[in-house]
Amino acid sequence: SPDLYVSNIDGSGLKQLSLTREAESSPCWSPDNQTICFISRDTGVPALYAISASGGKRRPLAISGAPNPSEPDWSPDGKWIAFTTKTRAGFTICIGSPQGGGAIPIVDGEDPSWAPNSRALIFCKGPDHAKQLYLLDVPTKQVKHLARILESNSSPSWAK
């Protein structure tokens, strides 16, 4: 089962951060590069956790009302973590505070990635063979479809 590791960019200084029987996945860095948010299934269901990049004990992020979270992305201003939840109806992007509280559903879609200004999210939605990219202005919840690039689009990310 995959565990979390960190290293220097050249591969030196490899350090294991987690060791569980269940998979850890989708790590993302906090804006200050001191903490990593990730998904773990260690309790049997996917949940959001945070751990210091230097090691130590992981802590659950107490963001309620978001079943099966995946694909977290920490906003550059540090105020929010965007993530995907899977429900019977499909995929929904939610945001939640790293300090905990209720998840805020904001749009149907998956694979959210924060813009450098912490105001917009790029994400995708649609069937696997024809995912399309969208841009969401988080404060106004206005969504704009982006031109389709080649075939299916997934896992968008901003250059940071």
Q: Confidence class of residue 144 from pLDDT cuts 50, 70 and 90?
A: very high
Amino acid at position 31, single letter:
P
Q: CB–CB of 46/69 below 8 Å?
A: yes
Instruction: Say which DSSP state 41 is in.
Output: -
Residue-wise pLDDT for 95-130, tens only, equals: 999 999 999 999 999 999 999 999 999 999 988 778
List beta partners, residue 96.
81
Q: CB–CB of 84/110 below 8 Å?
A: yes
**3-state DSSP assignment of residue 157:** coil
Residue-wise pLDDT for 79-104, tens only, equals: 999 999 998 888 999 999 999 999 99
Instruction: Say which DSSP state 67 is in.
Output: S
